[in-house]
Amino acid sequence: MKKLNDKQRKLIEDNYSLIWHLHEKYFTKFKDFDTYMDLGRMAICKAALKWDESKGNFGTYFRWVLQSEINKYYIKWHSPTEKMNRNAESLDAPVDERVDAEELTIGSLLVSNDDIESQALTTVYYQGEFNKLSDKQKKIIYMLLDDIEHKYIAKEFGKSIQWVSWQLGNIKKIMHRAKAVRS
């Protein structure tokens, strides 16, 4: 990675408070403040490295870079692999660490292997259908999962709210067809 020169370090120092200010103004839905600050620090360095004075205000450019970093974070956070890694539990893990009984594990509480197999097949099938969606459609779904309103989704894509609704209709049709085929 490139090193910052003195002018870029000064730019970061002068604008460091923008990280907090932008959180209060635009990114209050980002609940994990420590992660937000990490993303903000990374974004301000990237913005300082690439900013060109002739292209306008640093604050505006920094907000765009920060939004891009947050979007990358959300996309990674909601990727199937990341979700599986976060939610992974061993079937031998105790249900409650306060209980001494070794036989009380997640695996011992499962009803039957048939139910697990059916659920796994259904999950794999829908994941396959989800993977067929376009990157835009996936990003819309991830943004909706983060409780981002339709108007902000539309703004992110530079489109209208009607376009977002149309995309959601297409997604629902695709997943409905998948459900009909699966049944």
Evaluate if residue 26 carries a pLDDT over 60: yes
What pLDDT, on a 0 to 100 scale, did the predictor assign at position 159? 92
**pLDDT tier for residue 91 given thresholds of 50, 70 and 90:** low
What pLDDT, on a 0 to 100 scale, did the predictor assign at position 55? 74
**pLDDT tier for residue 144 given thresholds of 50, 70 and 90:** confident
Which whole number is the average pLDDT over 125-150? 82
34-65 pLDDT, tens digit per residue, is 888 899 999 999 999 988 888 788 888 888 89
What pLDDT, on a 0 to 100 scale, did the predictor assign at position 154? 92
What pLDDT, on a 0 to 100 scale, did the predictor assign at position 94? 56
**Model-level pTM?**
0.44
Domain ranges in the chain are 6-77, 112-183
Question: Measuring CA to CA, which residue among 1, 5, 13, 27 is closest to residue 58?
Answer: 13
Secondary structure letter of residue 16 according to DSSP: T
**pLDDT tier for residue 4 given thresholds of 50, 70 and 90:** confident
Q: Which two tokens stand for residue 12?
A: 């970061």
Identify the CATH class of 112-183.
mainly alpha
112-134 pLDDT, tens digit per residue, is 455 666 666 666 666 777 778 88
- C-beta separation of 142 from 74 below 8 A: yes
What pLDDT, on a 0 to 100 scale, did the predictor assign at position 163? 92
Q: Which two tokens stand for residue 111?
A: 């009803």
**pLDDT tier for residue 172 given thresholds of 50, 70 and 90:** confident
Number of Cβ within 10 Å of residue 96's Cβ equals 8
